[in-house]
């Protein structure tokens, strides 16, 4: 009978240790998944901000090009020097890239 009680006690300790290890592993997995989620959310927000900034830069460059083209057409109509407007247009294009 002593052997049976000893075996029961050992299995009880083994069971509690296995439960503690399972809880510890579950906590570690949850922490890693939460970290991954935070990283993915931050990446998505960074991409959205980057795309928004690129779109704004693109719109500004297009507005400048439109303005330069209007000036170029007005210059041609008036007989002004077209080279100045074309050089300024090239500068805007170089700035854009």
Distant-in-sequence contacts of 8-16, Cβ < 8 A, 24+ apart:
none
Q: According to the model, what pLDDT value does residue 14 have?
A: 94
| Average pLDDT score over residue span 38-43 | 95
- Within 8 A by CB and 6+ apart from 72, the residues are 82, 85, 86, 89
Pick 10 or 94 by higher pLDDT: 10
For residues 55-83, give the mean pLDDT.
76
Question: How many other CB atoms sit within 10 Å of the CB of residue 85?
Answer: 19
User: For position 55, what pLDDT does the model report?
Assistant: 85
Query: 3-class DSSP state for residue 82?
Result: helix
Tokens of 14: 């083994």
- Give 22's pLDDT tier (boundaries 50, 70, 90): very high
Q: Of residues 61 and 89, which shows the higher confidence score?
A: 61
State residue 97's pLDDT score: 54
Contacts of 65 (CB under 8 A, 6+ apart): 89, 92, 93
């Amino acid at each position: 009978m002593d052997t049976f009680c000893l075996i029961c006690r050992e299995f009880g300790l083994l069971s509690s240790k296995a439960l503690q290890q399972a809880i510890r592993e579950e906590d570690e997995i949850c922490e890693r998944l939460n970290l991954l989620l935070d990283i993915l959310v931050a990446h998505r927000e960074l991409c959205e901000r980057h795309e928004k900034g690129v779109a704004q830069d693109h719109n500004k460059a297009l507005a400048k090009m439109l303005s330069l083209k209007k000036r170029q057409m007005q210059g041609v109509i008036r007989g002004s020097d077209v080279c100045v407007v074309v050089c300024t247009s090239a500068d805007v294009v170089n700035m854009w890239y």
